[in-house]
Amino acid sequence: MRIVRFAIVVVLLSPVLGIIHADAQGAPASQSTPKLEHFDISMVDKTLDPCQDFYKYACSKWNAANPIPADQVAWGTGSGLQYWNENILRDALEKAAAPTSNRTDYEQKIGDYWAACMDESGIEAAGTRDLKPELERIAQMTSKSQLADQVAHIHRAVPGAWQGDDNQSRAALLGFGQMQDFDNASRVVAAIDQAGLGLPNRDFYIKDDDKSKEIRGEYETHIKKMLVLSGESPEQSAVDAKTIIAIETAMAQAQMDNVTRRDPKNLNNKMSLEQVQSLTPSFDWKHYIEVVSAPPSSPHYIVTSPNFFRGLEPLIQQHSVDDWKVYLRWHLVHGSAPYLSKAFVDENWNFYSHTLQGARQLQPRWRRCVRAADRDLGMALGQAYVAAAFPPESKQRTVAMVHDIEHALDQDITTIDWMQPATKEQAKIKLQAIEDKIGYPDHWRDYSSVKVGRDSYLNNVHEATTFEFHRQLNKIGKPVDREEWTMTPPTINAYYDAQLNTINFPGGILQPPYFDSKMEDPVNYGAIGMVIGHEITHGFDDEGRKFDAQGNLRDWWTEADAKAYDQRGQCIADEYTEEIPEAGVKQNGHLTQGEDTADNGGLRLAFMAVTNKLQSEGKSLDAKEADGWTPRQKFFVSYAYSWCEELRPEFMRTIVLTNPHSIPRYRVNNVVSNMPEFQEAFSCKKGSPMVRANQCRVW
């Protein structure tokens, strides 16, 4: 995600997955034309037994017919939609780039952004020209007391240097931003997060298996190559790469792990600026706040990981000013690489896309430019997407489904036997308060102060980064803006925001194969209905349940009900802790527990909702239709079909270690094997793999 949100936002797909559903230039014809993947029940492999491996039954034929393109790290039924959405954006960008005299301000911005990004020969000719002022600034550093100044400049300039995501910020040295106050969701406070790494998370520095060591070796080589590209000698770069890895490893050791971070209570450390300052006396916070133009004070500062900041102090003291200059140079070059010449782009791709994720070929430039424009000006560009691809009928039908599924959860809360009336009442109050946001925001963002030109792609990205950073920091000390969206309209994803108590479905995911106006109800409820149920369930997963109807971190559970909940949650965590042989790693069910709870709750709620709907229309769930399938069977096949996706082993390994979502096979098989409603659909017998002996159920 692009916006600093230390807030607890739970998304459907990983941010990584969000950008990898993409296609290749020079790929087979079927993949180089935009094609929406409609649900196709003939893709089921009827020679297989659905009770043995339902994912295989529903997906093996599709996966075999749709191999992963060379420039992709995963490929699934949603990938065609990604390509289709990007093509709509490309059309809008190309149109806006045509140099006519009567362009609107908005067309000038997105059009010139596109033209500068696509100008490969101009970017090649510029070399490191536009990076020079920043490199110079670092070269002139003479004292460690200037560290705060330097870090502030990098955070203002380098895209991704300060943004947080679900797990943690990837900023140089530390992350700084805003969030809703955990204890008072109506106001915004400053938040300070652990960060500073170049590898995906702390485990990559600490694990001592052979594969982890091999990746660290390749990371060191990558740093050396990048430093040489930025002007260092090969000899110097070899020494510097070791320094950088030593600094980052020490930071990783001081960081909070990603499972501990899942409990918001562990993040809610309120401090005054003086207290923050005392954690790391050698970092001048007051100066940092001045340079990034944040409001000079905040009601308090939330420090997500105080130990990390305690750990920074000896690190700053132990390393020389030259060591810190090297560290800063690396993070500047690293964060700027995608916007520089081919040599930088290729080397950046080589480590992050090839080594860490298994891609075999760089994506075509136009697709990279579409995604950059979506990130930097997406709430302007998104208007074109809504106009072209999101008709009002889609919104109306989605709203109706959301209401049906919310009603199903109300029904579920009424009937479950493990929760007492007092807690049930609170749960219903929270459910009633959920706000449904569908398609796109009511108010579009004002980008009028962002300067965009055709001369320098790097400068455009720099401008947009500064704009967004200021926009975020300006919220500190103010009441929360409940209308804001953190995903742009064409995004194929969805999220629940625990501190706003909202569910959010961008228009981008309300398309086939997830939502299809041509399809019957069981198909739509199995696909997008489950996604809606998933997001609603996040309000009641092991993390979401700790927030109340207003988004405050407040315990509304009786002790007995909390205990009953935790037992059910433990069942899920145990079930999803499994070795993944093809990736050479074990999935940690405590990391994925919230998402797994949401998957299980989501499919059950969607099933309850479609059952209610068919009953109200006098239709049967189990009557065979002309095509030989029952509506109940179609519901489950459609669910599995929407998750058909092959992942390269390198990518799988990286997401298992970093991402809170389970791999697609588990998202299907573990969920259905917990559901008697599924076993009935395919007459699965006790003892078969899709009939789990110990079925987990929270919602």
Interface residues toward Zn ion, by CB under 5 A:
10, 12, 595, 598
At closest approach, how far in Å is the CB of 183 from Zn ion?
24
List, as one string, the DSSP characters of 426-483.
Answer: HHHHHHHHPEEEEES-SS----TT----SS-HHHHHHHHHHHHHHHHHTTTTSB--TT
The residue among 193 and 535 lying less far from Zn ion, judged by its C-beta, is 535
Nearest to 19 by CA among 33, 1, 34, 39: 1
The residue among 288 and 495 lying less far from Zn ion, judged by its C-beta, is 495
The residue among 10 and 190 lying less far from Zn ion, judged by its C-beta, is 10
The residue among 338 and 539 lying less far from Zn ion, judged by its C-beta, is 539
Task: Give CA–CA dist 142/322, Å, rounded.
Answer: 8
At closest approach, how far in Å is the CB of 12 from Zn ion?
5
The residue among 73 and 598 lying less far from Zn ion, judged by its C-beta, is 598
The residue among 490 and 533 lying less far from Zn ion, judged by its C-beta, is 533
CA 156 to chain CA centroid, nearest Å: 22
Task: For residue 513, say if its preceding peptide bond is cis, omega within 30 degrees of 0.
Answer: yes
Query: Residue 237: CB partners within 8 Å, gap ≥ 6?
Result: 223, 224, 225, 227, 228
At closest approach, how far in Å is the CB of 535 from Zn ion?
7
At closest approach, how far in Å is the CB of 11 from Zn ion?
6
The residue among 17 and 59 lying less far from Zn ion, judged by its C-beta, is 17
The residue among 167 and 221 lying less far from Zn ion, judged by its C-beta, is 167
Residue with tokens 């992942």: 647
Task: Give CA–CA dist 400/489, Å, rounded.
Answer: 20
Q: Are 346 and 362 in contact (CB under 8 A)?
A: yes
At closest approach, how far in Å is the CB of 402 from Zn ion?
16
Q: What is the DSSP letter of 44?
A: S
CA 139 to chain CA centroid, nearest Å: 35
At closest approach, how far in Å is the CB of 364 from Zn ion?
30
At closest approach, how far in Å is the CB of 607 from Zn ion?
18
The residue among 255 and 491 lying less far from Zn ion, judged by its C-beta, is 491
Q: How far apart, in Å, do the first and last CA atoms of the chain sit?
A: 28
| Strand, helix or coil for residue 372 | helix
At closest approach, how far in Å is the CB of 496 from Zn ion?
7
Q: How far is CA 453 from CA 112, 450, 463, in A?
A: 6, 10, 10
At closest approach, how far in Å is the CB of 15 from Zn ion?
12
Task: Give CA–CA dist 158/169, Å, rounded.
Answer: 13
The residue among 404 and 541 lying less far from Zn ion, judged by its C-beta, is 541
The residue among 107 and 595 lying less far from Zn ion, judged by its C-beta, is 595
Task: Give CA–CA dist 684/51, Å, rounded.
Answer: 5
Q: How many CA atoms lie within 13 A of 665 on its CB side?
A: 16
H/E element, 177: strand 174-180
The residue among 240 and 497 lying less far from Zn ion, judged by its C-beta, is 497
At closest approach, how far in Å is the CB of 661 from Zn ion?
7
At closest approach, how far in Å is the CB of 306 from Zn ion?
28
Cross-strand bridge partners of residue 178: 190
Task: Give CA–CA dist 321/96, Å, rounded.
Answer: 47
Nearest to 43 by CA among 67, 64, 21: 64
* CB-count exposure of residue 32 (10 Å: 0-12, 13-18, 19+): middle
At closest approach, how far in Å is the CB of 494 from Zn ion?
8
Task: Give CA–CA dist 343/333, Å, rounded.
Answer: 12
Largest alpha-carbon pair distance within the chain? Answer: 79
